[in-house]
A = this chain, B = another copy of it.
Amino acid sequence: MRTFNTINETQTWCRDHKRQGKSIGIVPTMGYLHAGHLSLVKESRSQCEITVVSIFVNPIQFGVGEDFEDYPRDLHKDSRLLDEAGADALFAPSIREMYPPGYNSYVEVSGEITEKLCGRSRPGHFRGVTTVVSKLFNICVPDMAFFGQKDAQQAMVIEKMVRELNFPLQIVRVPIVREADGLAMSSRNVYLNPEQRRQALVLNQSLQKAREAIAGGERNAGRVKDLLCHTISTSPEAKIEYAEIYDAASLADVQEIDGSVLVAMAVRFGTTRLIDNLIVEV
Protein backbone atom coordinates (compact mmCIF):
# COMPACT_ATOMS: atom_id res chain seq x y z
CA MET A 1 0.00 0.00 0.00
CA ARG A 2 1.21 3.49 -0.90
CA THR A 3 1.04 6.18 1.78
CA PHE A 4 0.76 9.85 0.84
CA ASN A 5 0.80 12.94 3.02
CA THR A 6 0.48 15.59 0.32
CA ILE A 7 -2.40 16.54 -1.93
CA ASN A 8 -0.12 16.87 -4.91
CA GLU A 9 1.29 13.31 -4.70
CA THR A 10 -2.17 11.84 -4.15
CA GLN A 11 -3.76 13.80 -6.99
CA THR A 12 -0.97 12.85 -9.39
CA TRP A 13 -1.08 9.18 -8.40
CA CYS A 14 -4.88 9.01 -8.77
CA ARG A 15 -4.82 10.87 -12.09
CA ASP A 16 -2.21 8.48 -13.44
CA HIS A 17 -4.39 5.49 -12.51
CA LYS A 18 -7.44 7.17 -14.00
CA ARG A 19 -5.52 7.72 -17.26
CA GLN A 20 -4.73 4.02 -17.32
CA GLY A 21 -8.48 3.44 -17.31
CA LYS A 22 -8.64 2.16 -13.72
CA SER A 23 -11.75 2.75 -11.64
CA ILE A 24 -11.10 4.43 -8.29
CA GLY A 25 -13.01 4.01 -5.04
CA ILE A 26 -12.51 6.35 -2.10
CA VAL A 27 -13.22 5.63 1.55
CA PRO A 28 -13.05 8.90 3.53
CA THR A 29 -12.43 8.29 7.25
CA MET A 30 -11.20 10.04 10.39
CA GLY A 31 -9.11 6.99 11.28
CA TYR A 32 -9.01 4.85 14.44
CA LEU A 33 -10.40 2.21 12.18
CA HIS A 34 -12.80 -0.54 13.20
CA ALA A 35 -14.68 -3.29 11.37
CA GLY A 36 -17.20 -0.73 10.07
CA HIS A 37 -14.47 1.14 8.19
CA LEU A 38 -12.99 -2.11 6.94
CA SER A 39 -16.37 -3.13 5.51
CA LEU A 40 -16.23 0.08 3.43
CA VAL A 41 -12.76 -0.89 2.17
CA LYS A 42 -14.03 -4.36 1.32
CA GLU A 43 -16.99 -2.93 -0.57
CA SER A 44 -14.75 -0.53 -2.49
CA ARG A 45 -12.37 -3.35 -3.42
CA SER A 46 -15.27 -5.41 -4.73
CA GLN A 47 -16.52 -2.57 -6.96
CA CYS A 48 -13.39 -0.62 -7.97
CA GLU A 49 -9.94 -1.50 -9.25
CA ILE A 50 -8.15 0.99 -6.99
CA THR A 51 -9.13 1.80 -3.40
CA VAL A 52 -7.88 4.96 -1.71
CA VAL A 53 -8.57 5.47 1.99
CA SER A 54 -8.21 8.91 3.54
CA ILE A 55 -7.51 9.41 7.24
CA PHE A 56 -8.01 12.98 8.38
CA VAL A 57 -9.55 14.22 11.60
CA ASN A 58 -11.20 17.21 9.98
CA PRO A 59 -11.12 20.17 12.39
CA ILE A 60 -13.79 22.21 10.60
CA GLN A 61 -16.50 19.61 11.20
CA PHE A 62 -16.01 19.84 14.99
CA GLY A 63 -17.72 22.60 16.96
CA VAL A 64 -16.29 24.58 19.87
CA GLY A 65 -16.18 22.33 22.95
CA GLU A 66 -16.46 19.14 20.89
CA ASP A 67 -13.91 16.32 20.98
CA PHE A 68 -11.55 17.35 18.16
CA GLU A 69 -8.48 17.36 20.42
CA ASP A 70 -9.45 14.12 22.15
CA TYR A 71 -10.61 12.24 19.06
CA PRO A 72 -8.75 8.89 19.13
CA ARG A 73 -5.87 8.52 16.68
CA ASP A 74 -3.59 5.57 15.85
CA LEU A 75 -2.19 6.06 12.36
CA HIS A 76 0.36 3.28 12.81
CA LYS A 77 -2.26 0.63 13.58
CA ASP A 78 -4.67 2.06 10.96
CA SER A 79 -1.98 1.77 8.31
CA ARG A 80 -1.39 -1.89 9.17
CA LEU A 81 -5.15 -2.65 9.10
CA LEU A 82 -5.55 -0.98 5.70
CA ASP A 83 -2.57 -2.83 4.29
CA GLU A 84 -4.05 -6.13 5.49
CA ALA A 85 -7.46 -5.14 4.09
CA GLY A 86 -5.91 -4.64 0.65
CA ALA A 87 -6.26 -0.86 0.27
CA ASP A 88 -4.07 0.48 -2.53
CA ALA A 89 -3.30 3.88 -1.07
CA LEU A 90 -3.63 5.78 2.19
CA PHE A 91 -3.92 9.56 2.08
CA ALA A 92 -3.14 11.04 5.50
CA PRO A 93 -2.59 14.79 5.19
CA SER A 94 -1.81 17.32 7.92
CA ILE A 95 -4.28 20.06 8.82
CA ARG A 96 -1.97 22.64 7.22
CA GLU A 97 -1.89 20.62 4.00
CA MET A 98 -5.69 20.61 3.80
CA TYR A 99 -6.30 24.11 5.19
CA PRO A 100 -3.31 26.35 4.54
CA PRO A 101 -3.24 29.84 6.11
CA GLY A 102 -5.93 32.10 4.64
CA TYR A 103 -8.11 29.13 3.65
CA ASN A 104 -11.63 30.37 2.88
CA SER A 105 -13.45 28.05 0.45
CA TYR A 106 -16.47 26.09 1.63
CA VAL A 107 -19.14 23.82 0.23
CA GLU A 108 -22.50 23.89 1.93
CA VAL A 109 -25.82 22.11 1.60
CA SER A 110 -28.51 24.20 3.25
CA GLY A 111 -32.14 23.51 4.12
CA GLU A 112 -34.02 20.92 6.14
CA ILE A 113 -31.52 18.14 5.45
CA THR A 114 -28.73 19.91 7.37
CA GLU A 115 -30.90 21.73 9.91
CA LYS A 116 -32.31 18.70 11.73
CA LEU A 117 -30.74 15.92 13.86
CA CYS A 118 -26.95 16.37 14.01
CA GLY A 119 -27.26 19.61 12.01
CA ARG A 120 -29.23 21.16 14.84
CA SER A 121 -26.99 19.90 17.65
CA ARG A 122 -23.71 20.50 15.78
CA PRO A 123 -23.98 23.84 13.89
CA GLY A 124 -21.44 24.04 11.06
CA HIS A 125 -20.74 20.29 11.25
CA PHE A 126 -22.09 19.41 7.81
CA ARG A 127 -20.44 22.41 6.15
CA GLY A 128 -17.16 20.97 7.44
CA VAL A 129 -18.08 17.53 6.13
CA THR A 130 -19.19 18.66 2.65
CA THR A 131 -16.11 20.88 2.31
CA VAL A 132 -13.60 18.17 3.18
CA VAL A 133 -15.42 15.55 1.12
CA SER A 134 -15.46 17.90 -1.91
CA LYS A 135 -11.72 18.37 -1.51
CA LEU A 136 -11.19 14.60 -1.31
CA PHE A 137 -13.33 14.07 -4.41
CA ASN A 138 -11.29 16.64 -6.33
CA ILE A 139 -8.01 15.15 -5.11
CA CYS A 140 -8.81 11.48 -5.79
CA VAL A 141 -11.25 11.84 -8.74
CA PRO A 142 -13.07 8.67 -7.64
CA ASP A 143 -15.71 6.79 -9.62
CA MET A 144 -17.33 5.70 -6.37
CA ALA A 145 -17.22 6.90 -2.77
CA PHE A 146 -18.15 4.67 0.16
CA PHE A 147 -19.88 5.94 3.31
CA GLY A 148 -21.31 4.10 6.31
CA GLN A 149 -25.03 4.04 6.99
CA LYS A 150 -24.13 4.66 10.66
CA ASP A 151 -23.80 8.35 9.72
CA ALA A 152 -27.12 8.27 7.88
CA GLN A 153 -27.62 12.03 7.72
CA GLN A 154 -24.05 12.55 6.52
CA ALA A 155 -24.65 10.08 3.69
CA MET A 156 -27.89 11.88 2.75
CA VAL A 157 -26.21 15.30 2.76
CA ILE A 158 -23.30 14.03 0.65
CA GLU A 159 -25.67 12.34 -1.80
CA LYS A 160 -27.56 15.62 -2.18
CA MET A 161 -24.33 17.55 -2.67
CA VAL A 162 -23.07 15.09 -5.30
CA ARG A 163 -26.39 15.22 -7.16
CA GLU A 164 -26.74 19.01 -7.01
CA LEU A 165 -23.12 19.98 -7.69
CA ASN A 166 -22.93 17.25 -10.38
CA PHE A 167 -19.84 15.46 -9.04
CA PRO A 168 -19.13 12.74 -11.63
CA LEU A 169 -19.22 9.83 -9.18
CA GLN A 170 -21.53 7.47 -7.35
CA ILE A 171 -22.09 7.34 -3.59
CA VAL A 172 -22.42 3.86 -2.08
CA ARG A 173 -23.91 3.47 1.41
CA VAL A 174 -22.65 0.48 3.37
CA PRO A 175 -24.71 -1.04 6.23
CA ILE A 176 -23.91 -0.42 9.90
CA VAL A 177 -21.52 -2.96 11.42
CA ARG A 178 -22.37 -3.83 15.02
CA GLU A 179 -20.54 -5.48 17.89
CA ALA A 180 -21.80 -8.97 18.84
CA ASP A 181 -24.10 -7.40 21.46
CA GLY A 182 -25.60 -4.92 19.00
CA LEU A 183 -23.70 -1.68 19.74
CA ALA A 184 -22.97 0.13 16.47
CA MET A 185 -19.22 0.30 15.86
CA SER A 186 -17.77 3.77 16.40
CA SER A 187 -14.31 5.15 17.00
CA ARG A 188 -15.88 6.98 19.94
CA ASN A 189 -16.90 3.74 21.72
CA VAL A 190 -13.39 3.69 23.18
CA TYR A 191 -14.38 6.68 25.37
CA LEU A 192 -17.02 4.62 27.24
CA ASN A 193 -16.29 3.18 30.69
CA PRO A 194 -17.49 -0.40 31.25
CA GLU A 195 -20.79 0.67 32.83
CA GLN A 196 -21.51 3.17 30.01
CA ARG A 197 -20.54 0.55 27.46
CA ARG A 198 -23.16 -1.80 28.94
CA GLN A 199 -25.84 0.89 29.11
CA ALA A 200 -25.14 2.02 25.53
CA LEU A 201 -26.92 -1.13 24.33
CA VAL A 202 -30.21 0.75 24.81
CA LEU A 203 -29.58 2.54 21.49
CA ASN A 204 -29.88 -0.57 19.37
CA GLN A 205 -32.50 -2.03 21.71
CA SER A 206 -34.71 1.03 21.28
CA LEU A 207 -34.31 0.83 17.47
CA GLN A 208 -35.34 -2.82 17.53
CA LYS A 209 -38.40 -1.98 19.66
CA ALA A 210 -39.34 0.74 17.17
CA ARG A 211 -38.95 -1.72 14.31
CA GLU A 212 -41.14 -4.28 16.09
CA ALA A 213 -43.81 -1.71 16.89
CA ILE A 214 -43.97 -0.55 13.25
CA ALA A 215 -43.95 -4.16 12.03
CA GLY A 216 -46.84 -4.76 14.45
CA GLY A 217 -48.88 -2.04 12.75
CA GLU A 218 -48.01 1.14 14.69
CA ARG A 219 -48.13 4.08 12.26
CA ASN A 220 -48.13 7.03 14.66
CA ALA A 221 -44.64 8.55 14.63
CA GLY A 222 -45.19 10.34 17.95
CA ARG A 223 -45.96 7.08 19.73
CA VAL A 224 -42.90 5.38 18.22
CA LYS A 225 -40.76 8.33 19.36
CA ASP A 226 -42.18 7.96 22.88
CA LEU A 227 -41.27 4.28 22.77
CA LEU A 228 -37.69 5.15 21.70
CA CYS A 229 -37.26 7.73 24.45
CA HIS A 230 -38.81 5.47 27.07
CA THR A 231 -36.49 2.59 26.14
CA ILE A 232 -33.39 4.80 26.11
CA SER A 233 -34.38 6.26 29.48
CA THR A 234 -34.14 2.84 31.11
CA SER A 235 -30.40 3.55 31.06
CA PRO A 236 -29.70 5.94 33.98
CA GLU A 237 -26.61 7.44 32.30
CA ALA A 238 -28.25 8.12 28.91
CA LYS A 239 -28.97 11.77 28.05
CA ILE A 240 -31.02 11.97 24.87
CA GLU A 241 -29.88 14.69 22.46
CA TYR A 242 -32.45 13.67 19.89
CA ALA A 243 -34.57 10.63 18.98
CA GLU A 244 -36.58 11.30 15.85
CA ILE A 245 -38.44 9.81 12.92
CA TYR A 246 -38.18 11.56 9.56
CA ASP A 247 -38.71 10.80 5.91
CA ALA A 248 -35.63 8.79 4.90
CA ALA A 249 -35.11 10.66 1.62
CA SER A 250 -35.70 14.28 2.63
CA LEU A 251 -35.76 14.40 6.46
CA ALA A 252 -39.23 15.94 6.13
CA ASP A 253 -41.41 15.63 9.24
CA VAL A 254 -43.51 12.49 9.47
CA GLN A 255 -46.78 12.15 11.40
CA GLU A 256 -48.06 8.89 9.95
CA ILE A 257 -45.33 6.37 9.20
CA ASP A 258 -45.41 5.53 5.52
CA GLY A 259 -42.85 4.68 2.83
CA SER A 260 -39.24 4.78 4.00
CA VAL A 261 -38.52 6.44 7.35
CA LEU A 262 -35.30 7.10 9.23
CA VAL A 263 -35.37 6.38 12.95
CA ALA A 264 -32.32 8.21 14.32
CA MET A 265 -30.89 9.14 17.69
CA ALA A 266 -27.98 10.86 19.38
CA VAL A 267 -27.45 10.02 23.04
CA ARG A 268 -24.76 11.10 25.49
CA PHE A 269 -23.19 8.83 28.06
CA GLY A 270 -21.14 11.17 30.22
CA THR A 271 -19.20 13.27 27.70
CA THR A 272 -19.44 10.63 24.98
CA ARG A 273 -21.94 11.26 22.20
CA LEU A 274 -23.16 8.17 20.32
CA ILE A 275 -25.45 8.01 17.30
CA ASP A 276 -27.41 5.14 15.82
CA ASN A 277 -30.22 4.71 13.31
CA LEU A 278 -32.42 2.39 11.35
CA ILE A 279 -34.30 2.75 8.10
CA VAL A 280 -37.75 1.17 8.19
CA GLU A 281 -39.76 0.52 5.03
CA VAL A 282 -43.53 0.39 5.34
- For A100, what are the chain B residues with a Cβ–Cβ distance below 8 Å? 164
Find out whether the CB atom of A168 lies under 8 angstroms from the CB atom of B138: yes
Find out whether the CB atom of B168 lies under 8 angstroms from the CB atom of A11: yes
Restricting to A121-174, which residues have a CB under 8 Å from any CB of B? 130-131, 134-135, 138-139, 141, 160-161, 164-168
- For A164, what are the chain B residues with a Cβ–Cβ distance below 8 Å? 100, 103-105
Complex Cα spacing A106 to B7, Å: 23
A105-B108 contact given A135-B166, A166-B139, A168-B11, CB 8 Å threshold: yes
Find out whether the CB atom of A7 lies under 8 angstroms from the CB atom of B166: yes
Query: Residues of A with Cβ closer than 8 Å to B?
Result: 7, 11, 15, 19, 21, 100, 102-111, 113, 130-131, 134-135, 138-139, 141, 160-161, 164-168
Find out whether the CB atom of A111 lies under 8 angstroms from the CB atom of B107: no
Complex Cα spacing A10 to B160, Å: 20
Complex Cα spacing A135 to B103, Å: 21
Find out whether the CB atom of A111 lies under 8 angstroms from the CB atom of B102: yes
Q: Indicate how many identical chains form the complex.
A: 2
Q: Among the listed B103, B107, B139, B160, which residue makes an inter-chain contact with A107, where contact means beta carbons less than 8 Å apart?
A: B107
Closest-by-CB residue of B relative to A141 is B168
Find out whether the CB atom of A106 lies under 8 angstroms from the CB atom of B110: yes
Complex Cα spacing A134 to B107, Å: 10
Closest-by-CB residue of B relative to A14 is B168
- For A135, what are the chain B residues with a Cβ–Cβ distance below 8 Å? 165-166
A21 to chain B, nearest CB (A): 7
Complex Cα spacing A207 to B18, Å: 46
Find out whether the CB atom of B160 lies under 8 angstroms from the CB atom of A138: no
- For A141, what are the chain B residues with a Cβ–Cβ distance below 8 Å? 168
Find out whether the CB atom of B160 lies under 8 angstroms from the CB atom of A104: yes
Find out whether the CB atom of B105 lies under 8 angstroms from the CB atom of A106: no
Closest-by-CB residue of B relative to A12 is B168
A207 to chain B, nearest CB (A): 28
Closest-by-CB residue of B relative to A107 is B107
